[in-house]
Structure formats: C-alpha cells, structure tokens
Amino acid sequence: MSSTMRAFVLTGPGECSVQEVPAPAAVAGEVVVDVERAGVCGTDVEFFTGEMAYLHQGHSAYPMRLGHEWAGTVSAVGDGVDPAWLGRRVMGDTMLGDRTCRRCRRGHQHTCEHRQEVGIRGGRAGALAERLAVPAWSLHALPDSVDAVLGALVEPGGNALRAARAARAGAGDRALVLGPGTIGLLTAMFLRAAGAEVHLMGVDSLAFARGLGFTNTWTRDTLPDLPFDAVVDATGASGSPALAVDLVEPAGRVVYIGLSGRPSPLDSRALVLKDVTAVGVLSASPGLADTIAAYGDGVVDPRPLVAATVGLDRVGAVLAGERVAGAGPKVHIDPRR
C-alpha cells in the first residue's frame, strides 16, 4: 500500500487543489477505508465560500479535507479492532463523540460538545480522498443490496429519515416539504413510504421532483390552501422557519433540518397559539442503520438524485457552482478516477 495518496485539500475560501498527501495509518481502535464514493453537500459549499459557522467559532480551520458522505471498503485495521472488518464494505457516522461525556453515555454522541465531525470539525480529515481513517465503532456494514452509490447516500438519508419520523405523518396525513434539494427530496421519499400525502414547495427543481413521482409540487404563489399536518423546512432560507409555522395545521408538527446563513426570525407565540410541536434535526447518527435497511429493502431508492459522478479534479468546480450533466441535486466523487 502506498504511503501517499491523492486528496482534495481546501486551503482557504475558494482556494483548493488536489494534492499528494500522506496516507492515513490504522491507529489503535481505527480502520483505514478505501473510498469508493463520496458525496458533495451544502456544508462543503459553505466551507468553500468561508461562510460555515464552525470556521468562525474555532471548531474548524483551513487547511482541511472535506467529505462526510461516503462508502468504501476497509483495507486496514488498527490494534484492538476486530480483523473481521477487513474487506468489508462500509459507510460511517459523521459525528464522533468523545464517548465519555454525559451526552455520549445517554446515546447522543452526535451532540457531544467535544465531538469531531468527519471532514467538518475538529481536524478529522474527510473522504474526498483515496483513503480515510475513522474509528471502528463508527462503521456501519453495508449489505450486498446497498452499492457504493447508495452507501454514500446513507448519511443524507439518515438526516431525512429522522426528519420524516419527526413529522409523524403517515396514512391519512398531509405533509409539506419546503425545499426540493437532496435532503428535502429524501425526506419526501421517506414520508411517501410512510403513507403520507406529500407536497413539495420550492423555487426550482420542481420538474425533477415531479419526475420522481411527486405530483403535488408548488411554488409559494401556487401553493393551494390545504391543511398540512406536518411541515418540514429543508431550505436554507431565513424566512422559512416562520413560514413553516404559518402553514402547518394547529396541533401539527414542524421539523427544522435546513440551516440559514443568518438567524431566522420566529415568533414563539405562533407556536403556542397553534399548539405546534417543533423539532430540530442535527444529525443522521440515530437513523443510519434504519436508512441502510430501507435502501437495502428497496423501500426508498435515492439513486436518481445523483446527477453525475466525477473525479477529485472536479471537486473545486462543483463547489464553485458548476453544474454537471444530469438533473439530480447531488454530485458524487469517485477518488479512484
């Protein structure tokens, strides 16, 4: 195995290159994974533009290696790791808690104050590289029915699954998803699988959503006056949280999974007077295993969301906004190209 590898390195806002860097070693308790697919998401774009809050809060710093949606094969294991992991196809949790604090001990390692986040926070290098090192405890094995494309969609899918479950919308319920991006569409897929009548609202990508079988797609101007039992905000618009409360039925549920670049004004009196339950979703962590099962069983098939798969040399252009062939919102990277 080579002692170096190719990796995408972000050195500052808009400054990046593919570099030859030292390959990771499998230290005690960790494994090395040969990356087969990695997704690019909105968080990566925020690091590219320099807008990501972690940069200003001291949780992240340049230079950094992005990539937290990934799938690959374990190629090396460190001391104390079950050798049965060798050769297994896996994806992994993004959130790496310290496993000792109160939150971690209560099963909420994704909210650990001292957590690392793969490719995001605490200096933990990400998956936009030929190889990746992660703790063995963070791995999830992939069945044969979940290929590398699906494997790299488990992390966003876990977020969406949690959002759909938080909405508690099933047969006889009507749910509205704001924002037809990757997370919004995945959430809509899980809501549909749960039996809910699903509506989507956005400013673009509506034709693509209709092509996925979502016939109830609207803009703000065309949205019909219907009772929505649940509203999921999967946008990055600062006005959407308040809009979600305006649109939801009294005694309904609003779920917030999108993040705005600036504070979102929300009048809590609207929540109280409508007896609304509001839920925030930070991470895919508690939903990863069930997402793998849903993909493996064919309950949800998100593959159409991937517009294209490109090599590391195209990452910078993608982060800068270059559109690639294909109508889907997601771009995957194959570091082996």
Residue 204 pLDDT > 90, yes or no? no
Residue 7 pLDDT > 80, yes or no? yes
Share of the chain above pLDDT 70, in %: 99
Q: Average pLDDT in the 244-268 region?
A: 94
Helix axes 154-167, 288-296, angle to 10 degrees: 100
**184-193: per-residue pLDDT in tens?**
999 999 999 9
pLDDT reported for residue 260: 86
**141-150: per-residue pLDDT in tens?**
999 999 999 9
3 state DSSP class of 35 = strand
pLDDT reported for residue 1: 76
- Write down the mean pLDDT value for the chain: 96
CB 163 within 8 A of CB 141: no
**145-177: per-residue pLDDT in tens?**
999 999 999 999 999 999 999 999 999 999 999
pLDDT reported for residue 190: 98
pLDDT reported for residue 323: 83
Share of the chain above pLDDT 90, in %: 95
pLDDT reported for residue 140: 98
CB 88 within 8 A of CB 74: yes
Q: Average pLDDT in the 193-202 region?
A: 98
Alpha-carbon gap, residue 234 to 258, rounded angstroms: 4
Give the pLDDT band of residue 220 (cuts 50, 70, 90).
very high
- Report yes or no on whether pTM surpasses 0.85: yes
**51-98: per-residue pLDDT in tens?**
999 999 999 999 999 999 999 999 999 999 999 999 999 999 999 999
Query: 225-239 burial string, b = 16+ CB within 10 Å, else e?
Result: eeebbbbbbbbeeee
Angle at 196 between CA 190 and CA 198, to 5 degrees: 80
Q: Indicate the Cα dihedral angle 267, 269, 272, 278, nearest 10°.
A: 10
pLDDT reported for residue 2: 86
Beta-sheet pairing, 228-233 with 248-256? parallel
Alpha-carbon gap, residue 233 to 276, rounded angstroms: 14
Residue 325 pLDDT > 90, yes or no? no
Residue 205 pLDDT > 90, yes or no? no
Residue 324 pLDDT > 80, yes or no? no
Token pair recorded at residue 193: 């699988």
pLDDT reported for residue 262: 85
Backbone dihedral angles phi then psi of residue 5, each to the nearest 5 degrees: -155, 165
Angle at 279 between CA 276 and CA 285, to 5 degrees: 160
Q: Name the burial class of residue 107, with classes exposed (0-12), middle (13-18) and buried (19+) by CB atoms within 10 angstroms of its CB.
A: exposed
pLDDT reported for residue 175: 98
Backbone dihedral angles phi then psi of residue 212, each to the nearest 5 degrees: -90, 5
pLDDT reported for residue 261: 80
**Which helix H or strand E contains 247, and what residues bound it?**
helix 240-247
Sign of CA dihedral 316, 319, 320, 321: positive
Side-chain half-sphere exposure of 4, counting CA atoms within 13 A? 5
